[in-house]
A and B are shown apart, each in its own frame.
Chain A
């Protein structure tokens, strides 16, 4: 069963093929077919995945650079498996949204989008740390060109450079941490350096890491992932990219949060002692990010900037959930990450539709949209309510779990999360009031069109999923339950930590 390799290579091959076809419309159709196939294959991967097993599954292993013991090792577990179809879905949606709106060099655009999809799937399924790092850095070139060449703002090139520099800055500590882990493995088994190195994640999990290195590795990994998440104060690239870059790419960036995924998958399990000791730092960082993002979102006059800060704020809530170190917190965090794709991604796409119609998402150019675009407004309101955690949508079970987890772990975190929930209603609704409700002021608005059939189809998929998951949240929770249990017991049942007061408080009942 080589389904993961197929998932990684199919879009990459598609990207190459697009480069060979001269005919633009044919190339676009090919791209759409590839993206659709990718979604089907990723759903098949979800089918093959056995949710009753908390271990890594669908593993493929080949030697890659034998002299350094670097392998091609991929696999998924309950944390990552859901993101495969989500990545495929959000890419497909982004493609649909940019079907006609991307005019110059559209073949290159779609090829880069496919490449981004393949590399993202690679990040999500790589289990060899070097392979992971390769994919991680490979996400940068397509994004650099996508933002810099097809951005909508006048400062798009600057935004592309800013994004690139931030991510390169984050990449350095990651690489350091990976090298430290590999050398430590050789030292622990008293081996020689090139011969006994290993970058395999399952092996590194079993290797004992001395306490002083734990702190260092945790700090380095956290710095690397915090840039991508983003956690305050490393978040400033996100508003710039959403303002200057194309909205579809912003949707992909906000929808698939690789930074938080990295924290969950690598940073915490690889340095478990440090993670448990430092989880209060993580909690405080999450709380600051949550409130900081929400307060700044209150001040925004541009829909895309507002959504960027709303994303930052939501990331803060997820970090709080991870820091609470209990089943509710961790399951809520994974749940919320899945929601990002459906909710944050779709909101960005709606913002893109508005940008395309009106040339701006600034509040003074909007106003009274509900009258001329009732369907778009309905969709926007539903996504907005999901983002606020309204019952009936998928946001509610996730936020409920996160808040309960935070309250159980530490009352202050819970109170902060509740304050964040009030603020999220405030910034979302006060923007919606002046943008979508009220009287029409601009002539452009009066003349603009409601959703086209293509756009309606694109938005209907997340709408159905949002309501479906909101009514049946167990469908998502069952998939990651066993993995979350294993993840948590790895962190909390460490022999060294016995008798520690922290663990007594945080241990699941």
Chain B
């Protein structure tokens, strides 16, 4: 019975590979092949769903061993990462539920995307996503879960930029992916800490050893995974990505942000229940972030002008409730809430495009609220702007400064100075004509400065300058003049150094060194 578990992620992966290869090589193309593509994807996901249901049946009847290991995936020293799966409990329940919902969505998409230009692309990504999601929930080790986690994030990126000609879609996709990448860094950090302290990356060993961890270690591991969970489940401060992600076609929104992916954060936290329980601080963080996100999403959701954003914020609010339940220790409640929410939200997002026909005009009456609250809500509490100001802008500024530094200082100090001629295209053309025949004898092909030569030249120039300005002419007007210029330069340098981004950078470096 346990061996069935391999097929659950493997069948959609096979479908993804065949659709991907088929479309890339031009076999699956044009409207005529739409049916076969849709059949491959839908059948694979449906079969995978049946396997997951069989597994669930086995679990309910108590026939499952609990684990199934295929073999070693990566081994280095004591690091032993296996390809292994969980075959009991919450993981199987969620696998069955998610694959059922995904199978339904897959069927729904066939008609929804009929004659769309990206039909094949959609089904390729969708099958890949189904495989990733099944791996995420079924893997028995942290690395396997991370693989699913990351590939699901990639699929989300690819489907948000489904209409890749629209700049806003691609911008949002990029932003969502990079936001999620911060969470992924937390996940990898968690894996690293588990391996460093417990010598294992298997979930059950991690949970079994949770009792032996000190509170500090448990807090470290659980906070790392909590960051990953918050990013994936759109909790504060990551919440705004969820509204950006609604750019994709409706079935993909239903699959990613209604049925499956957005819940993986809560799943991760539920999976690590013993580790989280060990650390009161992490529990408090879970609860606090949950409450804050709930309140935030409720207020912001009130002012959304389109149905999908409204659903997105309602989703993140519900997820906040689940995190709150986890933080308070109601793990069962959180997991049941997860299942129920997945079904409801999937249905809501699938019906969202046709909702306009069911709503009567002027149905809801506007409530009167303070203007500032309305503004704040409509602007998502400026969360994106705050992140831009606190993170994106400083990093960009730093990149800008460094790039200038690299081109104008490092390159000049280290390199041979470039010839005076610029990148004139006409000159470049002329060179193309002359080509490699070296007609131009006087070009700089055979002339070099040499680092030592340059250094000597500069040193002599500096010594000459000092000699000339200070020693020969005495302490005169020039000395004062140049002294002042030097002072101005020093001032300027200090101003640059005192910019907030450098202060923060220095503080970060100090922390890194102090560790």
Contact = CB atoms under 8 A, between A and B. Distances in A.
Interface residues of B, number: 74
Nearest to B403: A299
B77 A296 contact: no
Nearest to A426: B178
B192 A414 contact: yes
A408 B164 CA distance: 41
B419 A155 contact: yes
Interface in A313-355: 326-328, 331-332
A138 B291 CA distance: 66
Interface in A397-414: 397, 400-401, 403-404, 407-408, 410-412, 414
B165 A439 contact: yes
Contact of A477 (B75, B161, B185, B189): B75
Contact of A392 (B147, B415, B431): B147
A161 B185 contact: no
Nearest to B201: A404
B435 A408 contact: no
Tell me if B's interface is mostly helix, strand, loop or mixed: helix
Contact of A412 (B76, B424, B512): B512
Contacts of A331: 76-77
B78 A509 contact: yes
Contacts of A401: 74, 76, 79
A148 B73 contact: no
A433 interface: yes
B306 interface: no
A414 B164 CA distance: 35
Tell me if A's interface is mostly helix, strand, loop or mixed: helix
Contact of B418 (A158, A328, A429): A158
B213 interface: no
Residue from the set B76, B78, B154 with the largest chain A CB neighbour count within 10 Å: B76
B89 to A, nearest CB: 24
Given A148-B445, A157-B444, A161-B448, A437 B178 contact: no
B424 A368 contact: no
A447 B444 CA distance: 37
B423 A391 contact: no
Nearest to B428: A154
A162 interface: yes
Contact of B415 (A160, A162, A415, A422): A162
Nearest to A172: B452
A285 interface: no
Interface in A483-508: 508
A421 B177 CA distance: 12
B411 A407 contact: no
B147 A158 contact: no
Contact of B74 (A234, A236, A397): A397
Interface string B63-75: 0000000001111
Interface string A274-302: 00000000000000000010011011100
Contact of B143 (A298, A300, A400): A400
A134 interface: no
Contact of A411 (B191, B195, B515): B515
A418 B427 CA distance: 45
A296 B24 contact: no
Interface string A457-484: 0000000000000000110010001000
Contacts of A157: 443-445
A46 interface: no
B170 A327 contact: no
A208 to B, nearest CB: 29
A69 interface: no
Contacts of A410: 515
A162 B192 contact: no
A422 B227 CA distance: 14
Interface in B66-113: 72-79
Interface string A116-157: 000000000000000000000000000000001110011101
B267 to A, nearest CB: 18
Contact of B165 (A155, A165, A298, A371): A371
Contact of A295 (B164, B199, B398): B398
A368 B166 CA distance: 10
Contacts of A327: 76-77, 79
A425 interface: yes
A397 B144 CA distance: 12
A404 B187 CA distance: 12
22 contacts: A104-B435, A150-B436, A154-B424, A155-B419, A161-B416, A295-B402, A298-B399, A299-B399, A326-B77, A375-B24, A378-B24, A390-B150, A392-B147, A400-B188, A400-B191, A408-B192, A412-B515, A421-B181, A421-B184, A439-B167, A474-B72, A509-B199
Interface of B: 24, 72-79, 143, 146-147, 150-151, 154, 157, 161, 164-165, 167, 170-171, 173-174, 177-178, 181-182, 184-185, 188-189, 191-193, 195-196, 199, 395-396, 398-400, 402-403, 406, 410-411, 413-416, 418-419, 421, 423-424, 427-428, 431, 435-437, 443-445, 447-451, 512-513, 515
Given A298-B396, A327-B79, A410-B515, 5 more contacts: A295-B398, A299-B400, A328-B77, A331-B77, A433-B174
